[in-house]
Amino acid sequence: MKALVVNCSPVRTGATAAVAGIISEKLAERADVKCVCIDDYEFAFCRGCRSCHKTAECVMSDGAQELMTEFEAADVIVCVSPSYWADVPGQFKAFIDRCTPWCNTHEPHASLTHGKRGYSVVLRTGPGMRECERLIETIEHFYGHLEIECRGSLGLCSVEYKENVEPRRAEIMSFCERIV
């Protein structure tokens, strides 16, 4: 099994990166794991030109296609996202927008190999799960349009700093046991 763990935060050393690290470490016990940060890729915003609706390709060639190559190489994709104003970070949302060539709502469209499984892990600083559920819905909506099967999610509340992650390690590792 090949797993891709995506730190959807542009911060490479924060709480989200720590969670992604724990997931990568646990999955590496039984899978070939690649962990990336959204900030590893440089890409422009979607222009809204809709050329991809006719060609199934973006008019721009940059890091968005590189990251989609990583999606294609993986059997399992785990997106780990913090909450930025009650949604995914803008950098990750910009990537989602750039995935329109792979969106199954128009023909022709590019497509990933069928059978990919997606998992979502989200974290927020506040105590309520409602915001976590909103982020999970965003990621699962994205997976759905790429025809990645949503297999599970984990919401972590009251996590602001990477120091808040270690006390949640057992919970994160337990979630990883369900990733297949």
Segment 59-83, tens digit of pLDDT = 999 999 999 999 999 999 999 999 9
The reported pLDDT for the residue numbered 20 is 98
CATH architecture designation of domain 2-176: 3-Layer(aba) Sandwich (3.40)
- Report, as ranges of residue numbers, the positions in the chain whose pLDDT lies below 70: none
Q: Which helix (H) or strand (E) holds 123?
A: strand 117-123
- pTM as predicted: 0.97
Domain ranges for the chain, please list them: 2-176
The reported pLDDT for the residue numbered 148 is 98
CB atoms within 10 A of CB 27: 20
The reported pLDDT for the residue numbered 130 is 97
Q: In b/e form, how buried is each residue of 124-149, taking b as 16+ CB within 10 angstroms?
A: beeeeeebbebbbebbbebbeebbbe
Task: Walk across the sheet containing 117-123 and list its strands.
Answer: 32-37, 2-7, 76-82, 117-123, 149-156
Amino acid code (one letter) for 103: C
